[in-house]
Each structure stands twice: as C-alpha cells, then as structure tokens.
Structure 1
C-alpha cells in the first residue's frame, strides 16, 4: 500500500473545485460535510481530495491548519478504503477545534466507507 499523499492526489484545480461544488453530490457525517463526484475523464488517475476547515468555526489560522494536518493524516492512512479511481472528494470540517486525531480517524474511516457505498450505487458522470 502507498501511504503517501503527493500533490497529484490533492485537489487544486480551480475548474474541478467549482465543478465539485456546483455539480457534486454530498452527504453529512459529523464532523464532515462530504462533496464528491466521479468523472470519466479522470477515471484512471488517482483520487483527488480537498480539505477545508470553516473560518466561522475555528477563528485562528493556526487552529485551522492544525485540524487540516489531522485530516490529511487520517485520509492518508485510510485512503486505500476508496475502491475506485477518478473520484474527486471535498472534505469540509464542521466539528469542534478540540477534536483529537483519535476522534477524527474513525470518522474518516466511516466517511470513506459511506463514500464507497454511495459510489457503488451511482453511475459515472459524463
């Protein structure tokens, strides 16, 4: 298994981010709002993920960065749970700033398993 999280697995293309927010499906599983879309043109490329932490919930940038590091680590360790390729995922953190890694990681596993379930029931988008 590859436990790295290189740049090509992080979502940074503005066009894809807009498409994710405008056309993607979503679900809520505390402490995450999850947006996702599966695209044909990126089917054989690695999954891409976007991490976002609300400024409204966590005021200080250091706190937001701290949570984002925990989210990236939890995703990095469990990304193998996503079965398909070409999935674009946005993880928006809406929980409390005091959440520890031990609380975040099981929630990340639940999110990835639910994402697999939702994608298995949904066809590819053009």
Structure 2
C-alpha cells in the first residue's frame, strides 16, 4: 500500500489539460489541489501529478526537493483517500501544486498533505 507506482502518476497530456479546464480546485496552503472525477476506465483509483512553479523557484534543485517531499508525504498518507475511493467505487485524477514562497521542511509538508487529503475526501463525499 505504501508504494507510488508508474500507473499512479498522471502523464497523459490530454487528461492533464482536461483536469485544469474542467476540474474543481481548492487551496490548502502551501498547496493548491485540482481534481476531476473520471469514468471507471483507470486501473488505479487515483492518478496524480505534482508541480512546483518555475517562476517562484528558479533552480531545478529546489523544485526537485519540494516535489520529492510532496511525493513522499503523499505515498505515506494516500491510504485514507484510496479507502474512500474503493468504498464509493470512484476514480479521480488530481494535481497538487506547490504555491508556498520558500522550501518548507518535510514535517510541515506531511502535516499539510494530510490536511489536503482529508479536505479532498470531504469534497468527494459530497
């Protein structure tokens, strides 16, 4: 359960475009999450893409550190989201963008990721 496989990563350009044009979004500082319910054609319950602004973080090293921390926090805490998706038989694609102004420590990122996933669960339950 604590894995993050290739199938769980959102790589399809058309799906990403569809997500940003038709999806719903909410803020949970330092993250902005966008999500879209999909018909049941995916093999995994959730596909995700992580992004960090090149405008805010000029150096690729900084962007990669943030994305690595976000992926790790998601990997360890995605179980609650997956439980809800399996129970309701839903499939989603979503993105988490980092909108903070400085590189946050991992502890803060993990705490906020938990909050974001809880908020996403609430949105999906509506």
Structure 1 runs of 4+ with >6 Å offset:
none
Residues 10 and 49, structure 1, Cα contact 8 Å, conserved in 2: yes
Per-residue CA deviation, residues 92-115 of structure 1 (Å, 9 max, x unaligned), is 001133300001001000000000
Aligned equivalents of 1:94, 1:110: Cα separation in 2? 16
Question: Matches of 2:55 and 2:79 in 1, distance apart?
Answer: 31
What pairs up with 1:1-126 in 2 under 5 angstroms?
2-42=1-41, 45-82=44-81, 83-84=84-85, 85-121=90-126
Deviation at 1:44, TM superposition (A): 5.9
What 5-or-longer segments of structure 2 have no aligned partner?
none
Q: Please give the secondary structure, in 2, of the residue aligned with 1:50.
A: strand
Report how many aligned residue pairs link the two structures.
Answer: 120
SS of the aligned residue for 2:16 comes to: helix
* TM-score, normalisation: structure 2: 0.90
Is there any run of 5+ residues in structure 1 with no aligned partner, and where? 122-126
